[in-house]
Amino acid sequence: MDWTNILEGTIGSLFAFFISTIIVFIFNKFIGKRKYKDESLESETKTNFGSFFKNPFLISLFITSFFVVLTFFSIVYSWTTYNYIYLTIAASIFGIITFFIYENQCPNCKRIFHKKLINKEILKDEKRPYYYRDLTIYLYSDGSEKERRYTGEEKIRMETWRTEKEFYECTSCHHKWDKISERNLDIDSRPEPNIVRTKIKPPNDYEY
pLDDT of residue 38: 45
Predicted confidence pLDDT, tens digits, the chain (208 residues): 455 555 666 777 777 888 888 888 887 776 655 544 444 444 444 444 456 667 888 888 888 888 888 888 777 766 665 577 888 888 899 999 999 998 888 888 888 889 999 999 999 999 999 999 999 999 998 888 889 999 999 999 999 999 999 999 999 989 999 989 999 999 999 999 999 998 888 887 555 4
Amino acid at 97: I
- State the alpha helices, DSSP H only, in 77-138: 81-104
Nearest to 60 by CA among 20, 31, 116, 22: 20
In the beta sheet, which residues pair with residue 121? Answer: 165
In this structure, the number of other CB atoms found within 10 A of the CB of residue 155 comes to 11
Q: How far apart are CA 165 and CA 53, in angstroms?
A: 31
Task: Please tell me the pTM assigned to this model.
Answer: 0.63
Task: Name residues whose C-beta falls within 8 Å of residue 47's C-beta, 6 or more positions apart in sequence.
Answer: 33, 34, 36, 107, 108
Do residues 87 and 67 touch, judged by C-beta distance below 8 A? yes
Q: How far apart are CA 69 and CA 17, in angstroms?
A: 9
Domain boundaries, the chain: 3-113, 118-205
Do residues 59 and 21 touch, judged by C-beta distance below 8 A? no
pLDDT of residue 207: 52
Starting at the edge strand that comes first in sequence, how are the strands of the sheet with 115-139 ordered? Answer: 176-184, 145-170, 115-139, 194-197
